[in-house]
Amino acid sequence: MAPAIAAEEGGRQRRAGSRQHCLAAAGEPLPADAEALVGAAGAARGFRAELGSILLLLVLYVLQGIPLGLAGSVPLILQSKSASYTDQAFFSFVFWPFSLKLLWAPLVDAVYLRGFGRRKSWLVPTQYVLGLFMIYMSTQVDALLGDGQGRGPDVRALTVTFFLFEFLAATQDIAVDGWALTMLSRENVGYASTCNSVGQTAGYFLGNVLFLALESASFCNKYLRLQPQPRGIVTLSDFLFFWGAVFLVTTTLVAFLKKENKELIPAKEETKGITDTYKLLFSIIRMPAVLTFCLLILTSKVGFSAADAVTGLKLVEEGVPKEHLALLAVPMVPLQIILPLVISKYTAGPQPLNTFYKAMPFRLLLGLEFAFLVWWAPKVKHEGGFPVYYYAVVVLSYALHQITLYSMYVAIMAFNAKVSDPLIGGTYMTLLNTVSNLGGNWPSTVALWLVDPLTVKECAGAQGHSCGTAAAAELCTEAGGSCVTTLDGYYVESVVCLILGFGWWFLLGPKFKKLQDEGQSSWKCKRSN
CB atoms within 10 A of CB 270: 10
Q: Are β-strands 482-487 and 456-460 bridged in parallel, bridged antiparallel, or unpaired?
A: antiparallel
Eight-state DSSP code of residue 208: I
Q: How confident is the model at residue 332 (pLDDT cuts 50, 70, 90)?
A: confident
Contacts of 478 (CB under 8 A, 6+ apart): none
Q: Provide the pLDDT for residue 111.
A: 84
How would residue 423 be classed by pLDDT, with cut points 50, 70 and 90?
low
Q: What is the mean pLDDT of residues 32-56?
A: 58
The whole-angstrom separation of Cα 342 and Cα 233 is 40
Q: Using pLDDT thresholds of 50, 70 and 90, give the confidence band for residue 20.
A: very low
Q: What pLDDT was estimated at residue 331?
A: 87
Pairwise CA distance, residues 215 & 200, whole Å: 21
Number of residues that this document lists for the chain:
529
Rounded to an integer, the average pLDDT of 354-382 is 95
- pLDDT bucket at 39, cuts 50 / 70 / 90: very low
pLDDT tens per residue, range 47-71: 677 888 889 999 999 999 999 999 9
Amino acid 40: pLDDT: 40
Q: What is the mean pLDDT of the chain?
A: 84
The mean per-residue pLDDT over the stretch 15-27 comes to 33
* pLDDT score at 17: 34
Comparing 30-39, 301-310, 435-444, which segment has the lowest mean pLDDT?
Answer: 30-39
Determine the pLDDT at residue 262.
59
- CB count within 10 Å of CB 345 equals 9
| pLDDT of 265 | 46
* 495, 500, 506, 512: CA torsion to nearest 10: -140
SS3 content of the chain, % helix, strand, coil (to 5): 75, 5, 20
Per residue in 65-94, pLDDT tens? 999 999 999 999 999 888 899 999 999 999
- pLDDT in the model for residue 482: 85
Query: What whole-number percentage of the chain has pLDDT above 90?
Result: 49
Tell me the one-letter amino acid at 251. T
To 5 degrees, how large is the angle CA 404–CA 405–CA 406? 95
Q: Is the pLDDT of residue 233 over 70?
A: yes
Most confident of 18-27, 48-57, 422-431: 48-57
| For range 334-338, the mean pLDDT | 84
> Which helix (H) or strand (E) element contains residue 514?
helix 509-514
SS3 315: helix
Concatenating the DSSP letter of every residue in 287-298 gives SHHHHHHHHHHH
In the chain, the domains with their CATH numbers are 49-259 (1.20.1250.20)
Residue type, 263: E
Of the listed ranges 39-43, 200-204, 288-292, 358-362, the least confidently predicted one is: 39-43
Residue 13 and residue 409 in contact, taking contact as beta carbons nearer than 8 Å: yes
Q: Express each pLDDT in 182-230 by its tens digit.
A: 888 777 777 887 788 788 888 999 999 999 999 999 889 988 888 889 8
The CA distance from 104 to 346, in Å, is 35
The predicted pLDDT at position 195 comes to: 86
* pLDDT at position 136: 95
Q: Is the pLDDT of residue 29 over 60?
A: no
